[in-house]
Chains A and B, each alone.
Chain A
Amino acid sequence: MSRLERRCRHLLRAYPQPYRAARGEEILGTLLDATPAGRSWPPGRDARSVITGGLHVRAAGNRQLPLVTNLRLAALLAAALWQGLALEAFADAITYPGALTHENSPVSQLPALGVMLFAAVCAAGACLAIVSVWFWRRSVTISLALAVAAASALGVILTHSQGDLLLDARMMGPPLALAVLAMGKDRPPRSWLWLPGLWLTAAALPLPLSANWWSIPDYPLVAGFFVILGITVLWLAIDARPAFAAGLCFEVTYLTNILLLGPSHAPDAGQARTLALTAAALAATALRARRQASTLPTPTGSDSKFTL
């Protein structure tokens, strides 16, 4: 394979994989024919047109599903992200089991190793539940999510009475949402995996940085948040659903944190403004998703169907 052909194949990755499987060789042949002899790069305008053409096909692929299905898939992604955030409490329990051994707590009699093992198994189950959304059958996702929810409930029962809410009610919401939303037939496209991947990477980055990682500021998480925000905004051009999912996850997490402070605690002006801004951004992305779902073009000249 020549260097030119290898580079052309890299460019073709702008198209979704099913489209490449059906049309890739044909487009590659045309691209190679259109490149003057002796060049190791395709002409700039051809390269640009292949990239924009690929994005165009991806955008068209998103329009194959109705708005309701698109929003349910976005909510499923939001639940996966929320579950990713909830992993932090398990990580706390693994690295700092002493937090659970409150002298009046029912779990105070448990050895630290037992607490660590319990949290590690819960965390592994939650990670598998997230991964299964893309790679395994929905029955697996539902079973894993319900198991994590049950384990979280056990953690809440064991620790809640003393107000030591390391494993509190916030732990049960994400797996339950994941189980309910995974009941639908459609699965999120694998082209969305960058979002939970980046999210989990940003959340896990502090771990190797220090033995006392909980004591260092959340710089990687904040940096990861801005990277994710930037990509989701760019991604809006072809698919509004990841942006909707990220916004929904933020809104639910933020609202839950406020509500868990107590029924008498009303959001202050700053919190109310943040909630309103996020709700407005959510509405805007939902409108964009509606536009992307409103037409149903057939994106190809061949007989195969292309889905992302």
Chain B
Amino acid sequence: MREPTYFVLACLLEGPLHGYAIIKRAEELSGGRVRLATGTLYTALDRLTSEGYVRLVSDEIVSGRVRRSYGLTGPGAAALRAEAVRMAEAAQIVTCRSRVGSARPLHPARSARNVRTA
């Protein structure tokens, strides 16, 4: 799952949102790192809807224009959780090794000797 898709789904965890609200919420959640462009958002929404991860929740007219709100479906929430778990496990591999590495720094000469005797 690509990062913009992940954040679109993550925004909808708290409830249905319309297009511009998704853009703003994704920016907030990612600390300003993910700034969804309008076309990118609707391409992602089309794809997520066709995959059954997102559904159209409501239509309303605001300032003479249609404003549609989208919500997360059951499979969408499950896919988001699975992705979060996968990323947490992947992150753990690095963070755990970094901790071990910072606790016992290898001596270059000793590590070279270990390689020779192996």
Contacts and interface: CB of A to CB of B under 8 A. Distances in A.
B114 interface: no
Contact of A49 (B18, B20, B39, B70): B39
Contact of A56 (B19, B23, B37, B43): B43
Helix, strand, loop or mixed for chain A's interface? helix
A298 B48 CA distance: 10
B46 A46 contact: no
A197 interface: no
Interface residues of B, number: 27
Interface stretch (B5-13, B49-57, B86-94): B49-57
A27 B38 contact: yes
A30 interface: yes
Interface string A39-63: 0001001101111111011001000
Contact of B39 (A29, A52, A300): A52
B39 A51 contact: yes
28 contacts: A25-B66, A26-B19, A26-B68, A27-B19, A28-B65, A29-B19, A29-B62, A29-B65, A29-B67, A30-B18, A30-B38, A34-B23, A45-B37, A48-B39, A49-B40, A49-B43, A50-B38, A51-B39, A53-B39, A53-B42, A53-B43, A297-B47, A298-B49, A299-B50, A301-B45, A301-B54, A301-B55, A301-B70
Interface of B: 18-20, 23, 35, 37-43, 45-47, 49-50, 54-56, 62-63, 65-68, 70
Interface of A: 23, 25-31, 33-34, 42, 45-46, 48-54, 56-57, 60, 297-302
